[in-house]
């Protein structure tokens, strides 16, 4: 079988997914425009990319990590999306309702929610109804031509690209117990350069599910000596954090407070009127927002709100803004989310707040790191992801640090600790830059 997608289109798609290649499983003009033929070739294969073609020259389809079957049920997939090629460029429409991302229908081909179906009802036609599961412009996606000339389904298979390792690390890290102890001591003994401030305040901002709360829990775990979970964290399509929280870390169970406060926020969402309101960011950065403030996506904090600090001290303001990004999703960041991050960066720049990026889930993004986390700065693929984050946020690579959070472990890991502690050290250095500007 020959693929109808050209090499450029395949590369464009794979660049959005990770170190993968496309393996053609099903081709309707060969196997038949029927649900039975599709399921025979594609069931229990995942992840997959489904592509439809029509006489108007439109190319469109969908991606899911879930294996197809004929159960008749919806399946959850928070990374599913439908797409089209517009003017030679890939345009993606992320799933709006992850629990209804894909439906397993035996009489049809690939079935994306109730929004897009290829080979509908055992016919070479498309069902198109943008709305609750996926929002897209039908005319732009397929020109309202619902007659299929071809349908292909590809399995997305691992590429050796994710295993490419350079000989010499491009950043130097010492991976031993002594280094961990040194980093912990540097954090414990840190003192802001301004006497009016005893603790650096760092604001964590990121997309829902990126790992903001998990990052705090992970840092807390390192200093507690065991994995702990003070901040609410987990997997959800909407933010589990609904209040503004200022978490003070302690050096051990009954130890002294550390000289850093991590501020957790509601997660960002790409849709308008959902998740953290960008207007609330200014209130947090300037120190107006009280701890435990309940976020309201439709009504940001205002001067008459309960607890609003009208004259915040320097210690109440944010001294370093940290964006938490999921390494597995940098390449498929929705345009609306990128716009929100840009708006937040502009607000922080106006206030002179230094900014850092913490890249989470690096071990999920790169197979080399599942083998050994110390490969982090020898992984070609991780460096490409970091460069992608640098490009999307307009920040230098030196402002981006990768980490691995504790999310399923019960015991601490030396290499994980060192990456986490190195990220905290960078936050304190950036806070120093803020204090230096104030002093000057």
Q: Are 310 and 301 in contact (CB under 8 A)?
A: no
| C-alpha to C-alpha distance for 161 and 64, rounded to whole angstroms | 21
Q: Is residue 213 one of the residues assigned to a domain?
A: yes
* Nearest alpha carbon to residue 278 among 194, 202, 339, 236: 339
Q: Which DSSP helix (H) or strand (E) runs through 391?
A: helix 380-393
Nearest to 418 by CA among 385, 386, 373: 373
Q: Could you tell me if 172 and 275 lie in one domain?
A: yes
**Does 172 share its domain with 144?**
no
Question: Which structural domain, as residue segments, surrounds residue 66?
Answer: 7-158
CB 104 within 8 A of CB 66: no
Assigned domain for 228 exists: yes
Q: Is residue 248 part of a domain?
A: yes
Model confidence pLDDT, tens digit, residues 273-282: 566 777 788 8
Q: What is the rounded (10 degree) CA torsion for 414, 397, 267, 198?
A: 70
Instruction: Give the H/E segment covering residue 124.
Output: none
pLDDT reported for residue 396: 95
Residue 1 lies in a domain: no
> Considering the domain boundaries, does residue 2 fall inside one?
no
Residue pair 391/354 in contact by the 8 Å Cβ criterion: no
Mean pLDDT across 20-39: 95
Query: Same domain for 292 and 389?
Result: yes
333 domain residue, yes or no:
yes
Q: Write out the two tokens for 13.
A: 């798609």
Radius of gyration of the chain (CA): 24
Closest among 25, 127, 37 to 82, alpha carbons compared: 127
Do 286 and 137 have their domain in common?
A: no
Among 126-140, 265-279, 305-319, top mean pLDDT goes to: 126-140
Mean of pLDDT values over 4-12: 85
Say if CB 317 and CB 283 are below 8 A apart. Answer: no
Last residue of a domain, which of 158, 184, 200?
158
Across the range 85-93, mean pLDDT stands at 88
User: Residues 216, 121: one domain?
Assistant: no
Q: 271 and 144: one domain?
A: no
Q: Which residue has the higher pLDDT, 134 or 274?
A: 134
| 8 Å CB contact between 85 and 4 | no
Same domain (yes/no): 126, 196: no
What pLDDT sits at residue 155? 96
Q: Which pLDDT score is estimated for 112?
A: 97
DSSP letters, 320-371, are EEEEEEETTTGGG--HHHHHHHHHHHHHHHHTT--EEEEEE-HHHH-HHHHH
* Whether residue 169 sits in one domain with residue 34: no
Q: Provide φ and ψ at 66, rounded to 5°.
A: -80, 140
Dihedral over Cα of 186, 348, 358, 388: its sign: negative
The mean pLDDT of 224-238, rounded to a whole number, is: 66
Same domain, 34 and 138: yes
Q: Are residues 318 and 256 part of one domain?
A: yes
Span 298-326, pLDDT tens digits? 677 778 777 788 888 999 999 999 999 99
**Angle of CA points 274, 280, 284, to nearest 5°:** 140
- Alpha helices, H only, 33-99: 35-42
Q: What is the pLDDT of residues 152-184, one digit of tens each?
A: 999 998 776 667 788 899 999 999 999 999 999
Cβ-contact 82, 13 below 8 angstroms: no
Cis ω for the linkage preceding 155 (within 30 of 0): no
pLDDT of residue 234: 47
| Contacts of 118 by beta carbon, 8 Å cutoff, 6+ apart | 50, 52, 61, 62, 108, 109, 110, 126, 148, 151
Are 282 and 329 within one domain? yes
* Residues in contact with 234: Cβ distance below 8 Å, sequence separation at least 6, in sequence order: 240
For residue 23, which phi and psi values (nearest 5 degrees)? -120, 115
The CATH number of residue 253's host domain is 3.40.50.300
Average pLDDT over residues 213-222: 92
Q: Taking Cα atoms as reference points, which of 203, 206, 229, 202 lies closest to residue 218?
A: 229
Residues 178, 183, 188, 192, CA torsion sign: positive
- Residue that terminates a domain, selected from 158, 173, 207: 158
- pTM greater than 0.75: no
Mean pLDDT of 28-53: 97
Answer with the one of 96, 131, 158 that is the final residue of a domain: 158
Whether 42 and 124 share a structural domain: yes
Q: How many domains does the chain have?
A: 2
Both structure tokens of 404:
């691995």
The answer to whether residue 113 sits within a structural domain is yes
Asked whether residue 52 is assigned to any structural domain, the reply reads: yes
């Amino acid at each position: 079988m020959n693929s109808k997608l050209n090499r450029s289109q395949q590369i464009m798609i794979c660049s959005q997914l990770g170190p993968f290649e496309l393996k053609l499983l099903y081709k309707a003009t060969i196997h038949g425009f029927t649900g039975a033929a599709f399921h025979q070739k594609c069931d229990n294969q995942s992840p997959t990319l489904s592509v439809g073609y029509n006489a108007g020259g439109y190319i469109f389809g969908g991606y899911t990590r879930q294996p197809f079957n004929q159960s008749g049920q919806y399946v959850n997939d928070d990374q599913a999306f439908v797409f089209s090629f517009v003017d030679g460029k890939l345009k993606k429409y992320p799933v709006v309702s992850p629990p209804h991302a894909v439906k397993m229908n035996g009489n049809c081909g690939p079935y994306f929610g109730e929004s897009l179906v290829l080979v509908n009802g055992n016919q070479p036609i498309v069902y198109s109804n943008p709305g609750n599961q996926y929002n897209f412009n039908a005319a732009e996606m397929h020109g309202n031509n619902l007659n299929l000339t071809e349908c292909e389904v590809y399995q997305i298979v691992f590429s050796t690209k994710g295993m490419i390792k350079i000989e010499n690390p491009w950043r130097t890290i010492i991976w031993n117990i002594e280094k961990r102890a040194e980093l912990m001591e540097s954090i414990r003994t840190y003192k802001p350069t301004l006497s009016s401030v005893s603790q650096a305040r760092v604001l964590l901002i990121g997309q829902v599910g990126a790992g903001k709360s998990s990052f705090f829990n992970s840092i807390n775990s390192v200093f507690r000596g065991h994995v702990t979970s003070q901040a609410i964290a987990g997997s959800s399509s909407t933010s589990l954090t609904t209040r503004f929280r200022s978490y003070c870390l302690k050096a051990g169970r009954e130890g002294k407070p550390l000289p850093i406060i991590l501020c957790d926020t509601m997660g960002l969402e790409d849709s308008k009127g959902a998740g953290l309101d960008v207007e609330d960011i200014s209130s947090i950065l300037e120190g107006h927002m009280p701890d435990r403030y309940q976020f309201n996506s439709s009504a940001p904090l205002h001067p008459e709100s309960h607890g609003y600090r009208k004259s915040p001290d320097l210690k109440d303001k944010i001294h370093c803004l940290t964006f938490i990004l999921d390494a597995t999703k940098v390449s498929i960041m929705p345009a609306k989310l990128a716009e929100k991050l840009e708006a937040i960066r502009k607000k922080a720049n106006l206030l002179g707040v230094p900014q850092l990026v913490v890249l989470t889930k690096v071990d999920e993004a790169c197979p080399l790191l599942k083998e050994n986390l110390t490969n982090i700065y020898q992984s070609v693929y991780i460096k490409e992801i970091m460069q992608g984050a640098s490009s999307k946020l307009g920040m230098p690579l030196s402002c981006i640090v990768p980490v691995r959070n504790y999310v399923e472990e019960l015991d601490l890991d030396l290499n994980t600790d060192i990456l986490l502690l190195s990220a905290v050290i960078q936050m304190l250095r950036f806070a120093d830059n803020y204090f230096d500007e104030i002093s000057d």
